[in-house]
Structure formats: structure tokens, C-alpha cells
A and B are shown apart, each in its own frame.
Chain A
Amino acid sequence: MRLSRPARIALRIAALLGFAAIYVPLLLVLVNSLNPDRSSSWPPPGITFHWWADAWGSAGARHALVTSLKAGVGATAAALVLGTLIAFAIQRFRFFGREALSFVVVLPIALPGIVTGVALNTAFRTVLEPLGVGLGLFTVVVGHATFCVVVVYNNVIARLRRMPGSYEEAAADLGADTFRAFADITFPLVRSALVAGGLLAFALSFDEIIVTTFTAGPSTQTLPIWIFSNMARPQQAPVVNVVAAVLVLLSVIPIYIAQRMSSDTASGSRI
């Protein structure tokens, strides 16, 4: 398609504005963490690193961070196993309910988080609590894994679709059994899809607030819950600013890893 020069310039400007709109709020978070004024007014009257020191010493923030990391790792591990199993079943077999299954996998992320959250909350309280398992880190992991499965599933199945079945047949012809063919042929080929899917699952879990609200119980606080409950408190606002800034800066790391691991799946889709 030949675009005229003015059209190209117009699109360039529109894209530039789009990117500016995407990044200005994130930059503002960084600037604000250095704002000496407690009410974060604009423009900032100066620069201070005072709040960064405060945040470093904040036990609440640190504790919440550790809880979030644990929940993320647990949910990612569960999602990797379940998502991969479903992807293999759907890609390699034709069975009754196959379409329905691929639909159900998408549901937890397509339905509003509040519905999933309330449903899990009532289920956990009626089934698990009589068994002595209260709401806590375990239920958070179960809740998160439920909607993380789809990210792993999507990444793995996209890779399997592009992978010719003849590779495994060739391995079998050369004498490899099912396990051997998986370990030597299939697994290396889907590995980067697993990394990409795992990273996305971790990011989803790390950022999740709604399902967490309903599955965490009063004693478990993840980082988003900590931010949400401290945001409105003027005393804590500067520390929340710093934590927010740190999260923006840290978000570059998974992007970098995903990009290094596989250029196709990482850019393919978030879910």
C-alpha cells in the first residue's frame, strides 16, 4: 500500500502521541517518588530521596513483596503443569468435549475477576474451612493458578501448532520411545514458549488484586493489596509512591528476559 507523504507524517505524529500518552503516567510515578511534598502536588517543589529511604525500611511493604513472590511462584508452577497438559491434550487428540474444554480454559480470564473471586471465596469457605484449611497463601495460589493456566496454555498450544508432528515421528523411527522423544525433541522446542508463558503467568499473579482480595483472608497481604490499602492513607502515600516507582522500574526485567528467550511468543500476546 503506497501511503502519501502527509499520511505517513500524520501516522508518525499519531503514533508519537500514543507512545507519549502511554509513558507520561509511568514517568510521573517515577518523578513523584522524588517529590518532597507529601500530597504529591504538581509541579514538585524539589527533589528528595527521603521517601526511598523510608520505603526501604518499611516492614509492611517488604512483607507484602515476599508474599507476592511466593504466590506468584506457586501459581506459575501450577499453571505451567496444568496449561501444558491441556495444550498437549487439545493439540494431539480429538475427543468429546474438546471444544468445550478450550472454551472453559479462557473463561477464568474473560469473566470478571469479582465473579471468579466471590465464587472461589464461597467455595473455599464451605469446602476447605471445615477441613481446617483457612483462607491464606494456599488459597491465593489456587485462585491465581486458575486464571494463569490460560496464558501457559495459549503460549504452548501456539508453539505446538507450528511444530510439525513429523519431528516426533522421525524420532520414533530412529528408535526413541515416547518419553525419549519428548525429552529430546518436543521439550527443547516448546521450552521458550514455557518460559514466555511462565513469565506472563507470574506477572498476572503478581499484579492481581481482585481475586486476591477474596481468596487471601485477613492475614495474608500481597503487594497490590498493600498498595491499595495504603494508597488512601496520607501518612503512607510517599512510601506507596516509591513502591510504585520500583515496580515500574522492575517491569523492564521480565520484558527483557521474554524478548531474549523468544521473539515470537513474547510479542504474540499477553494471555
Chain B
Amino acid sequence: MSDTERAAGHSARRPAGTLAGRLHRRPRLQLSLLLSAPLTWLILAYLGSLTALFMSAFWTTDTFTSNVVKVWSLDNFTTILTGGVYQQVALRSVGVALAVTALCVVIAFPVAFYTARIAPRRWRPLLVVAILTPLWASYLVKAYAWRLILAEGGLLEWLLSPFGLDGPGYGLTATVLVLTYLWLPYMILPIHTGLEQIPDSLLDASSDLGARTGRTFRSVVLPMLLPSVAAGSVFTFSLSLGDYIAVQIVGGKTQLIGNLIYSNITLDLPLAAALGTVPVAVIVLYLFAVRRTGALSSL
């Protein structure tokens, strides 16, 4: 007797049981019950509005009334591709996102290495909490703290002035610095988890085969950590690429693609939508590239 029949036999006694039995025999029905609500939400509310937005990228705006004119054209994309300002800003944004990601990797590695493999075992859970805590503190509070640190007469100036140095002030450097600070935990955590999961026996085997520390690190540890770094980089990269608030707070006159989109929304929605396709395209490409490392399933 298969367990389907057995379940059906048991369930015949109670109405709920009958329903359970029916469900059990119809996996398709189960699946559609599971998926109907989330699919409606994701497709209608999310993908639907995204599609509508990107369709509007092909419309134009009446220059006098700022009303959207629903005539299909590629004008907005031509403007973006030929306008020097747009190219510059797009490149700068990708540059910032890459710089933030690189800085995060460089800072995260020693911290994660310490928390995962050097710190005494009983401290490790506590250290993970110490990495996580700033994630729960508000984004704005952290960006704001940096505004105070970088301000004229702020903490950094007070620290640097005895050495005759100047702080970076508000601008592109400050933006990269603050974004790195904001997203750093997203990079430390996956690297920590990755390092923690490397079995000691593997490292022992490497040294038994004559590899020194540096060689073990390069040939064993790094390749195993690649998916973790890739997973962390999804956040550091895409969060930096889309940000416009931190730039407003500490960026001075710096413009990133997010600011351009934001400033065009009320005046020229189709152009804003077309500008929005730039980070979306970059991030989707990035996600596809990262997916090959198997990082997305370990997020």
C-alpha cells in the first residue's frame, strides 16, 4: 500500500483529513495553492509596475507642459547614449560601486579571518553579533554620523589637524568612504561564514603536502571563498550603484546615476525611466555573472 493510499484511508474519517488526502493526491493543486498568492503579488505588483516603468522609457515629454506624450521613440536612449554628462555619470557610478566593493573586500578579509579562525572559539558568536549590530542601526543614522565626522570642525578635522592634514570634506571620496562603511557588514558576514566552513583537515592536508601558509591561502582558501565574496559583492555593488541618499548627505556636488534619476522624476519621467534601465541592466548582468559562481544560492 503506498503512503498516498494510506493517508487517504486515514483521512476519510474527518473533513479536514479528507481535504488533506485530496491535497496529498494532487501535487499540482498543492503547488498552485502555494504559488497563487505570491505569484499574483510578484507579477502584478512588482514585475507589472517595472514593465510599465520601462515601457514609459520609450515615451517622451512635452517640453512646455511636462506632460508625458505616449508616442514610441528611442529619443531618451539616444539622449543618454550621446549626452556626455550621462555617460560620465554612469561611468562614475559604476566606478564608485566597484571601488566600494573592492574596499569592502580588502577591509572585510582580515576582520573575517580574525573572527572565523583566530579569535578564541567561545568569542566567535559574540564577534558575529558585533559585526551584525551596526546593520540594525539605521542607514540614515550612520550616514548622518559620517556627515558629522567629515564636517568642518568635525571629529576627523580635529584628529588630523595636529598632523597638518586635511580631511576629504564632502565629495566623491567621502561618498565612497561612507558607502564602504554602510555596506561593509554585508561583505564581512559571508566571508566569515565561508572561512568558518573550510574544514581544518583540508588546511592540514595542504601543509602535509608541503604548502606554506601563503600557498595554502592562494590555492585552497581563496578559491573556496570565491562564492562568499561574490555573494557579498552583490550587495556592496548593487546597493552602491543605486544609492542617492548618501550622496546627498556627504557627496557635496557629486552626482551619481541615482541622483540623475531622482532629479528627473517630476520633470521628465520617461527620461528618468530610461536612466533607470542603466543600473538595472548593469546589475542584472552582474547577477548573471555571479550566478555562475553559485553565490546566489548561498545568499
- Most chain-A Cβ atoms within 10 A of its Cβ — which of B117, B129, B181? B129
Look across to chain A and name the residue whose beta carbon is closest to the beta carbon of B18: A177
- Most chain-A Cβ atoms within 10 A of its Cβ — which of B34, B138, B238? B138
Compute how far the CA of A209 lies from the CA of B107 in the bound complex, rounded to whole angstroms: 27
SS class, residues of chain A in contact with chain B: helix
- The smallest beta-carbon distance between A67 and chain B, in angstroms, is 15
- Interface contact B49-A122, CB-CB below 8 Å: yes
- Interface contact B7-A177, CB-CB below 8 Å: yes
Contacts of B77 in A (CB 8 A): none
- Interface contact B118-A12, CB-CB below 8 Å: yes
- Interface contact A177-B24, CB-CB below 8 Å: yes
What is the number of contacts between chain A and chain B, taking CB atoms within 8 Å? 280
Contacts of B186 in A (CB 8 A): 270
Give me 6 A-to-B residue pairs in the complex whose CB atoms sit less than 8 angstroms apart, sorted by A's number.
A26-B145, A104-B46, A118-B276, A119-B52, A228-B140, A251-B134
Counting CB contacts under 8 A, is B27 at the interface?
Answer: yes
- The smallest beta-carbon distance between B235 and chain A, in angstroms, is 7
- Interface contact A18-B110, CB-CB below 8 Å: yes
Compute how far the CA of A71 lies from the CA of B23 in the bound complex, rounded to whole angstroms: 35
Counting CB contacts under 8 A, is B227 at the interface?
Answer: no
The stretch from A52-60, A130-138, A168-176 touching chain B is: A168-176
Number of interface residues of A (CB under 8 A): 95
Compute how far the CA of A118 lies from the CA of B273 in the bound complex, rounded to whole angstroms: 8
Contacts of B11 in A (CB 8 A): 177
Counting CB contacts under 8 A, is B162 at the interface?
Answer: no
Counting CB contacts under 8 A, is B85 at the interface?
Answer: no
Known: A11-B113, A251-B136. 10 other contacts (CB 8 A): A14-B110, A15-B113, A23-B134, A43-B158, A85-B34, A104-B42, A118-B269, A122-B53, A149-B41, A173-B6
- Interface contact B146-A25, CB-CB below 8 Å: yes
Counting CB contacts under 8 A, is A234 at the interface?
Answer: no
Interface string of A206-247 (1 = CB under 8 A from B): 110110000000000001100110010000000010001001
- Interface contact A240-B21, CB-CB below 8 Å: no
Counting CB contacts under 8 A, is A123 at the interface?
Answer: yes
Counting CB contacts under 8 A, is A47 at the interface?
Answer: no
Counting CB contacts under 8 A, is B62 at the interface?
Answer: no
Interface string of B257-280 (1 = CB under 8 A from A): 010011001000100110010011
Counting CB contacts under 8 A, is B10 at the interface?
Answer: yes
Contacts of B137 in A (CB 8 A): 26, 247-248, 251
**B130-144 interface (Cβ within 8 A of A):** 130-142, 144
Interface string of B159-196 (1 = CB under 8 A from A): 00000000000000000000001001110111001000
**B59-94 interface (Cβ within 8 A of A):** none
Contacts of A263 in B (CB 8 A): 125
Counting CB contacts under 8 A, is A106 at the interface?
Answer: yes
- Most chain-B Cβ atoms within 10 A of its Cβ — which of A1, A2, A14? A1
